[in-house]
Amino acid sequence: MKAVIMAGGFGTRMQPLTCNIPKPMVPLMNRPIMLHIVELLKKHGITDLVMLLYHQPSVIKNFFRDGADLGVRITYVTPLEDMGTAGAVKCAEKYLDERFLIISGDLLTDFNLQKVIDFHESNKALATITLTSVKDPLQFGVVITDKEKRITQFLEKPGWGEVISDTINTGIYVLEPEIFKFIPEGENFDFSQDLFPLLLKKKSALFGFPVKGYWRDIGNTDSYREAHHDILKGKVGVKVDEPRREMAGVDLRVGVDVRLGEGTVVEGTVVVGDNSQIQGGAEIKDSVIGRNCIIEPGAKLTRAVVWDNVYIKKSAKINDCVICNNVSVGPATVMEEGGVVADDTAIGEESYIKRDVKIWPRKLIEAGSTVTGNLIWGERWKKSLFEGEMIKGLTNIELTPEFVAKLGCAYGTSLPKGSHVLVGRDTTLSSRMLKRSFLGGILSAGVNVRDIRMVSLPVLRYKLRTFGEVGGVHFRQSLEDPATTEIVFLDADGLDFSSAMGKNIERIFYKENFRRAHHMEPGGITELPQVMDFYREGFFRGLDQQLIRGSKAKVVIDFNHSPAGQILPQILNDLGCEVIGLNTYLDEQRGSKTVDEKPNSLQQLAKIVMTLEARAGFWLDPTVEEVVLVDETGRIYQPEEYLALMTTLMLKSGARGAFAVPVSAPSVIEEIAQENGSSVRRTKSMDRAMIEAAISPEVVMAGSMTGRFAFPKFQAAFDGMFTIAKTIELSSATGVPLSRVLKEVPKSSFLQGKVPCVWEKKGGIMRKMSEDSLDKEASFIDGIKVSFGNDWVLVLPDQYQPVIHVVAEAKDARAAQRLLEEYMQKVERWKKELAQ
């Protein structure tokens, strides 16, 4: 008698356990599931086996080879395409010239197969289906038989109303070779859907034989875990390779070269694979541990299934989870029941993996993370959602609609019930999709939304300064990576979120401590069609309109397909300017331009400015905050040059007060300001710090080192549209070309560099820098800035990247270069010292 083992499935429902291996090879008690089937067949005297493979056949062939080691003879058959269950068996027809048994390669059963074969023979059946009774027959094929056990009816996956029996098809069949007459060649043909109904119709000798015993289809990860529980409880007997070790009250099976540390607590049934170490003080209960694993002291495993090469560090707690190959679990990590961690994943210390979370292969979970949802795509699970004022992630991969809906719910929960928030987005379809999901979440918390749809961030900020909303959110695609969505959170005054505000939302998000509105009280969505008119009014009030009108300026603006293209040309035309707009149309399909395209766009812009003899050219970034200036000669300004120019222009046009600039800005700003009786307020480089400074009554302008400006007379926020208008106004006031104004700006050499530095060393580097600066004149507003007379150098750790910035300024270019190099080398040296 021969047997066919069906081992061709993809194991899709078993993912992520089956991401790297075929389902029949998934280990059950440290042995492939299919090996238990081979043992069962052998036990009943069936040693001539045909294995039907399809998905990753080599993995199975490499393990079983010709079967000689196991005392069986194996023939492999690999159909070239998916033929269905019966169709696949048809491919093995030439090996099946006598009665044969079919069994699935991913079953766990202890059925007495001989009884089935005997029944089949005594009834002279053409086909016998092995039946069993289950509590929940809904997910299986129900089979009805008459008194003689002849099959009378099939019900495939019935509803409860259709259930007239709890007897199901187990996927174990005994067949005569004549069966192949009923299976067409080269066609997709299934046993339960095609062949058996056909035999029933033709009134062939089709029987069903009910068998008592253990039977489980290991079809998904829950069933996989439950199969282990059943084995460990003794509900089903399977062969375990590891020999039993004597220990009172414990069923302990231990492989070769296993080290059990002193003080290890073992309870229930525990299996430990070859060459694994359980260090003293670990507690293991009802668990299976694979080969080459290390479990450190204080770790606590209950009902855990651990595969090979797994490192579980101190005090980690794992409850009813599966951990696949090559995984490291950080110290004090907690994994709730139902969790699955697939191959090649590293979980950082003190992480918290919530119930039923599945982490797919090759992921990195940052230390201190709380993982609340399945991590399938993307590489990292970040411990904090917010990066400053925003949350960013890969569109539809990290930031999926369901993730964002939950985020909206957390944000809504943080706000008073019945309050209003203002929400807008950029031109892209991705932003629209995610924004809509987010709105659902907010509404579910009983918070209302004023949707101003496609709008630039400065306009949204402007509206927020008035009454009515408790906060604002803007969706946009990242400039650095168009596949990334950025969700910018603003407070009630239109300012960027502070870190405390972000933390509050994170707490609610991770604890899932959501406020769900009563079904009669969800929030509502309204629109504010007049927002643009309001913005335009304020815009005009903030400018000297007469002056601009009189100058009849001609300017070229690259709008980068941003929403600004819909409003700024009209505003400037109304002010008597001639605007040559580039990329003004909105293209939802195309999305915004990327950083890579910027240099080309700037060159193009410079050319057009010169050709048209325009007064200036402006490159407006898609976020409508940042501007790059091109003067009438076609010169493209560096951000620090634009900052110095604007300061000069403001002072020339009579503005007096304070200028807010970051610590890293050139000191020529002070020089220019002091000459004109004004002052400079140095701030941290974070946007919020600059804008907070801009709110102070004496500040007339805040300027960043990225080409972003805020003019508090209009609004204390970075606004690229207003920056363009203000530049035109100021240049009109001075009446001289921009290139001439720049010539008046005191010259200095300003250089910037970056040193890569891992997060863990950033603090150490800054300590070394502060020790190094003890006897020097230093300021500590943001990073450490050391002055040498008029020259200075700044060492500043990046907020979000593993990078240390070094900035140097000196009157003399060579001195600046020397300073920059000296301090970059120092940072490199400190990095090495810290590594020792």
Partner 1 sequence: MAKLLVVDDEANIRLLYSQELSDEGYQVVTAGSALEAVEKLESESFDLAVIDIKLKNESGIELLQRIVKERHTIPVILCTAFSCYKDDFSAWLADGYVVKSSDLQELKDEIARVLAKRQRGAYV
CB 76 within 8 A of CB 61: yes
DSSP class per residue in 55-87? SSHHHHHHHHTTSGGGT-EEEEE--SS--HHHH
Q: Which is nearer to partner 1, 340 or 415 (CB)?
A: 415
416 binds partner 1 (CB under 8 A): no
Closest of 349, 350, 380, 383 to residue 362, by C-alpha: 380
Token output for 739: 């290139």
654 binds partner 1 (CB under 8 A): no
* Whole-number Å distance between alpha carbons of 476 and 544: 32
Q: Which is nearer to partner 1, 514 or 534 (CB)?
A: 534
Residue of 123, 696, 779, 787 interacting with partner 1 (CB under 8 A):
696
Chain mean position to CA 595? 22
Query: Residue written as tokens 């994994």?
Result: 335
Residue of 716, 733, 745, 816 interacting with partner 1 (CB under 8 A):
716
Q: Which is nearer to partner 1, 189 or 497 (CB)?
A: 497
47 binds partner 1 (CB under 8 A): no
CB 248 within 8 A of CB 265: no
Residue of 259, 688, 713, 762 interacting with partner 1 (CB under 8 A):
713
* Whole-number Å distance between alpha carbons of 723 and 543: 11
Query: Residue written as tokens 């009109």?
Result: 732
Window 462 to 491, contacts with partner 1 (CB under 8 A): 463, 466-468
712 binds partner 1 (CB under 8 A): yes
61 binds partner 1 (CB under 8 A): no
Q: Which is nearer to partner 1, 224 or 535 (CB)?
A: 535
697 binds partner 1 (CB under 8 A): yes
| Least separation in angstroms between CB 448 and partner 1 | 12
679 binds partner 1 (CB under 8 A): no
Burial category of 581 from C-beta neighbours within 10 Å (exposed 0-12, middle 13-18, buried 19 and up): middle
| Least separation in angstroms between CB 493 and partner 1 | 6
681 binds partner 1 (CB under 8 A): no
609 membership: H or E segment, kind and range: helix 598-611
* Whole-number Å distance between alpha carbons of 416 and 469: 11
Residues pairing with 370 in the sheet: 352
Residues pairing with 659 in the sheet: 680, 701
Q: Which stretch binds partner 1 (CB under 8 A): 25-33, 398-406, 712-720, 814-822?
A: 712-720
Q: Which is nearer to partner 1, 227 or 422 (CB)?
A: 422
DSSP class per residue in 126-179? SEEEEEEE-S-GGGSEEEEE-TT-BEEEEEES--GGG----EEEEEEEEE-GGG
Q: Which stretch binds partner 1 (CB under 8 A): 10-18, 62-70, 459-467, 472-480?
A: 459-467
Residues 6+ apart with CB under 8 A from 760: none
Window 7 to 36, contacts with partner 1 (CB under 8 A): none
Q: Which is nearer to partner 1, 95 or 534 (CB)?
A: 534
695 binds partner 1 (CB under 8 A): yes
Give the torsion sign (CA, 438, 439, 445, 448).
Answer: positive
Token output for 187: 């066609």
Window 79 to 108, contacts with partner 1 (CB under 8 A): none
CB 145 within 8 A of CB 152: yes
Q: Which is nearer to partner 1, 200 or 470 (CB)?
A: 470
161 binds partner 1 (CB under 8 A): no
Q: Which is nearer to partner 1, 19 or 695 (CB)?
A: 695
* Whole-number Å distance between alpha carbons of 179 and 87: 12
From residue 512 to residue 551, what is the string marking binding to partner 1 with x (rule CB under 8 A)?
----------------x-xx-xx--xx--x----------
Q: Which stretch binds partner 1 (CB under 8 A): 297-305, 335-343, 690-698, 759-767?
A: 690-698
Chain mean position to CA 646? 41
Q: Residue numbers of the site for partner 1 (CB under 8 A)?
A: 463, 466-468, 493, 528, 530-531, 533-534, 537-538, 541, 695-697, 699, 712-713, 716
